[in-house]
Amino acid sequence: MSPLYRVRVCVKEVKGGCAMGYKLSDCFTVERFYVSDAGKGICIHALSSMLTLLSPFLKGVSARVLGIGEQNSVGYAQCQDPGKLYTCGGLKSRKN
């Protein structure tokens, strides 16, 4: 069995607004297929954009091989919320 790695997911940029309220450098950790220290929670749109990449990344497949980065251990994924015309695009505040 392959060793499992810890993946730290952090917000690099927010364009417009984020319905979840994510801000630059907000982070959570994925380890052994579990999410920890998610703070305010995890947005389903953000999670869906990285879900298929997390499993191989946790098993040590490099970001270069996955086509998501120029460094082996740093990759990028983008939120899939399409924004206007189809959704609020994160421009409305999340309701608690």
Peptide bond into 4 cis (omega under 30): no
Is residue 46 assigned to a domain? yes
Is residue 44 assigned to a domain? yes
- Distance between CA atoms of residues 32 and 2, nearest Å: 11
pLDDT tens figures, 41-92: 888 888 888 889 888 988 999 999 999 999 999 999 988 776 665 566 655 5
Rounded mean pLDDT, 14-24 = 81
Direct distance between the N- and C-terminal alpha carbons of the chain, in angstroms, rounded to an integer? 42
pTM of the model: 0.77
- Domain with 25, as residue range(s), is 6-66
Is residue 33 assigned to a domain? yes
Backbone phi, psi, residue 11, to 5°: -75, 125
Is residue 16 assigned to a domain? yes
Q: E strands along 1-96, which residues?
A: 6-10, 27-31, 34-36
- Does pLDDT of 13 surpass 50? yes
User: Using CA of residue 90, residue 26, residue 31, residue 63, what is the dihedral sign?
Assistant: positive
Is residue 29 assigned to a domain? yes
Q: What confidence tier does 93 reach under pLDDT thresholds 50, 70, 90?
A: very low
Task: Give me the number of domains the chain comprises.
Answer: 1
- Does pLDDT of 29 surpass 50? yes
